[in-house]
Structure 1
Amino acid sequence: MANSISVPREGHWSLGANVLFYLLIIAILSISNATAAEPKWQTLPDTPELPETTQKGFVTVDGARIWYAAYGSGDPVIMLHGGLANSNYWGHQVRELAKSFRIIVMDSRGHGRSTRDNRPLTYDLMASDVIALMKHLNASKAAIIGWSDGAIIGLKLAIRNPDQLSGLFAFGANSHPSGLYDLSDSKIFERYLKRARKEYETLSSTPGEYDDFLRQMSAMWASQPDLADKDLRSIKVPVWIADGDHEEVIRRKDTLFIADSIPASGLLLQPEVSHFSFLQDPHQFTDDVLCFLQARGVGKKASSNAGSCRAN
């Protein structure tokens, strides 16, 4: 006799059967939602807030007021954000890294709370601002953690001021404007641009000047940087060139060019993230930064798992 399944008629469900039925429905809906969820690399999580600190202020540098904040103690680590952004983007990383290092964040010239003058923005000018801030804070040498434009500034510093760098973790840098993808159809970058405008209008002392600021930044991106092979080969400080495996801004060919050109540099491709890795998977990003810093001898003590980092 064939097996059969009897379905209780209306009104004959037991309490236990009702509970199991609804649990089954919830499980099915959860699986459906998980399947429909966007992959991490297609998301743009909210910008975090920086922790509170009394170590913050402005330093006047070459026609601009540069905002900075510092956290923790130990060897200095300066975190440089990307174009159109501000230091708040490092909120997730600062909390963890400040347990072992003196973390310094700064808003690049014209960005966030920092001001600018009438001169065109350049990576060289912003790199000079970093050196001036280091002098102001009595930091003779520091490691640089840079994202996008911040990574390019880090490369400039590694070329021009090697004696003042203990290492560089450069995420999402390009060597030339040709290393950028056409972002006109990028939905995630469109969302980022809208967010950047709102954040500028909230943080800047000149909230009505965003359009002019964006024009200046666009002009810089169209002509800079121009890091030739010989420039990159001159870098002697410890460097990891990092990026997300789903990078949507920087061409992989250019990332590999930078990594291949810098002698003894490490190459790190973080899985399942994009140009906004530090927001999409902050724990992975922070762990990789810690691996870099501690494997290179930066900090109070070397990590027991520093040798397990993914860089090649």
Structure 2
Amino acid sequence: MGRGTSYFDAIEPVLRRDFQTIVVDPRGIGRSSRTETLVTAEEWADDFAQLIRHLDLPSAHILGSSHGGSMAMAMALRHPPVVASLLLFGAFSELDRFIVLNMDLRIRLAKKLGMGEDLRDFISLWTFGHEGLEKPGVDKFLEAQLTAVKLHTPESYANICRSLLHWGRRLPGQEGEPVVTSLLHRIKCPTLVACGGLDFWIPAKFSKIIAKAIPHSVYVDMPECGHIAVRDDPEGSARIIKEFLGGKRLAQVG
């Protein structure tokens, strides 16, 4: 899970060699129907849990990248029977002021500049970083990012940003609410927490907070990856997932 199936275009064929895969555009994102209202990570989690039951699956390994990790953790908290394991890449359970200001700026940019290349470029600076923008083949991902941006109106995009802030308990009116980190001890399923060493958007400190809070979780550093590790290194990400689900001991860094 993530903010659109395009996050998983590179890794899904690799995972499909060993697993049955289901890739989903969350409500209001990608090719799913647009909505001009705020959808929270918890509501997306309810959608996905309902989908798993509709498909008559007993449970599933839930892979979440970035805000998709929020949806995955919400599933484990709200619907534990359908979550066989959590596979979290570049996720977060709380926010700092840097990310809050960045989200607020994205909302303003969308309203002032519209849904085009300017907003795409600002987003890409953070999701790709210095090294990521120099990698061969990055242009196709930038085009995919532009396509994803153009699917939104300024208001629907603003609500995705607000959803992220809501998960971080940083929306107006959420003052005093406990951060999600304080709830993570309730998660009992096997959990893999991975983060790119070149992730300047949601850096490793946030993944380490999650790994510390979830009992028996495993943390893995991916030093050559940026924020979307499953896109930057699909073969390496798939290998880590396969080894984790196969019970192989992974090298823990940090």
Q: TM-score range by the shorter chain?
A: 0.7 to 0.9
Mark the CA change 1:134 to 1:160 in structure 2 (over 3 Å): closer, same or farther.
same
Mark the CA change 1:278 to 1:159 in structure 2 (over 3 Å): closer, same or farther.
same
The 5 Å alignment of 1:274-285 reads 274-285=226-237
Pick from 160, 163, 166: which aligns with 1:217?
Answer: 160
> CA offsets, 1:88-117, max 9 Å, x none?
331222212212211111001111111144
Unaligned 5+ runs, structure 2:
106-121, 129-140, 170-178
Instruction: Indicate yes or no: 2:34 matched with 1:139.
Output: no
Q: Provide TM-score, normalisation by structure 2.
A: 0.74
The 5 Å alignment of 1:4-153 reads 80-81=1-2, 83=3, 86-153=4-71
- Matched with 1:57 is none
Give the partner amino acid of 2:44.
Answer: M
- Matched with 1:3 is none
Structure 2 Cα separation of the partners of residues 195 and 311 of structure 1? 33
Offset at 1:132?
1.5
Pick from 189, 206, 227: which aligns with 2:126?
Answer: 189
Offset at 1:239?
0.5
Cα contact 1:197–1:210 (8 A) shared by 2: no
Give the partner amino acid of 1:310.
Answer: A
- Partner of 1:139, secondary structure, is coil
Structure 2 Cα separation of the partners of residues 118 and 272 of structure 1? 37
The 5 Å alignment of 1:225-264 reads 225-226=168-169, 227-264=179-216
Structure 2 Cα separation of the partners of residues 179 and 237 of structure 1? 31
Structure 2 Cα separation of the partners of residues 102 and 178 of structure 1? 36
Structure 1 Cα separation of the partners of residues 37 and 53 of structure 2? 23
Give the partner amino acid of 1:128.
Answer: D
Mark the CA change 1:195 to 1:189 in structure 2 (over 3 Å): closer, same or farther.
farther
Structure 1 Cα separation of the partners of residues 98 and 192 of structure 2? 20
Cα contact 2:70–2:167 (8 A) shared by 1: no
Q: Which has the higher helix share?
A: 2
Mark the CA change 1:190 to 1:274 in structure 2 (over 3 Å): closer, same or farther.
closer
Give the partner amino acid of 1:104.
Answer: I
Which structure has the larger Rg over C-alpha atoms?
1
Higher relative contact order (CA 8 A, sep 6+): 2
Structure 2 Cα separation of the partners of residues 92 and 255 of structure 1? 22
- Matched with 2:87 is 169
Structure 2 Cα separation of the partners of residues 279 and 136 of structure 1? 29
Give the partner amino acid of 1:163.
Answer: P
Give the partner amino acid of 1:102.
Answer: Q
- Matched with 2:244 is 292
Mark the CA change 1:228 to 1:87 in structure 2 (over 3 Å): closer, same or farther.
closer
Instruction: Indicate yes or no: 2:205 matched with 1:268.
Output: no
**Runs in 1 of length 4+ with deviation above 6 angstroms?**
190-194
Give the partner amino acid of 2:251.
Answer: R
Unaligned 5+ runs, structure 1:
1-79, 202-206, 296-305
Give the partner amino acid of 1:212.
Answer: E
Give the partner amino acid of 1:111.
Answer: I
What's the RMSD between the two structures over aligned residues? 2.5
The number of equivalent residue pairs is 213
Q: Provide TM-score, normalisation by structure 1.
A: 0.62
- Partner of 2:221, secondary structure, is strand
Offset at 1:190?
7.7
Give the partner amino acid of 2:126.
Answer: F
> CA offsets, 1:118-164, max 9 Å, x none?
53111011101101111221112111011011111111111111111
Structure 2 Cα separation of the partners of residues 186 and 210 of structure 1? 16
Offset at 1:170?
0.6
Give the partner amino acid of 1:264.
Answer: H
